[in-house]
Amino acid sequence: METQADIRSLEAQLNAADRDALLLVAGLSPEQGVWQPAAGSWSVAECLEHLAVSNRAYIGAMQPAAGRARAEGRVRRGAANPGLLGGLFAKLLEPPARRGFRIKAPPSIVPRRGATLAEAFAAFAAAQEDVRAFLLNNADLDLAGVTFANPFIGGVRFSLATGLNVITVHERRHLWQASRVREAVIGGVDPLPIVRV
């Protein structure tokens, strides 16, 4: 069966995040990887660690919903597009960060202090594989119609499609943030381009 365009687009966004993460860590020393531009701001390692933790939390919340959908035979009915609320949320997350609009990370996904660049990158890469596996293993389900409880916003349910789209946008946001940190620590290096697929 041929993969649908929406699934290919989500996979392409995950692949782009993989490439961007590799570019971020290339040539950084362990010390540069954990350097923070200001007190309370995140290093490159912390940005990657945050993405790893948040992706695992999203996929952990989405797996049971996908399992129930499969047991109920809820097969694909249309594209994996986010719902109205989820689409607006995803749009707000797109980089660059807007002045006056900051979303504070819930305590459960604040990156742990002390993670090395190598550890954070490995955790990010492993979480990426989990997201990719979830996407490809569940592409035949009604991703836009099956909902799950958002693990960070009490009382809010997102469709699986929204969850996948939020993951990819959230990755762009923090990889862009990390590229700004890399630019500051190395100097003379342009931030990563913002690639929207």
For position 115, what pLDDT does the model report?
87
Is residue 108 in a domain?
Answer: yes
Cα–Cα distance, 124 to 52 (Å, whole number): 4
Q: pLDDT tens digits, residue range 4-26?
A: 999 999 999 999 999 999 999 99
Cα–Cα distance, 163 to 80 (Å, whole number): 10
For position 192, what pLDDT does the model report?
53
Q: How many domains does the chain have?
A: 1
For position 102, what pLDDT does the model report?
64
Is residue 97 in a domain?
Answer: yes
Is residue 195 in a domain?
Answer: no
Is residue 192 in a domain?
Answer: no
Q: Would you give the distance in Å from CA 137 to the centre of its chain?
A: 18
Residues 6+ apart with CB under 8 A from 8: none
Q: pLDDT tens digits, residue range 91-119?
A: 877 777 665 556 677 666 777 778 899 99
pLDDT above 70 covers a percentage of the chain that reads 88
pTM of the model: 0.88
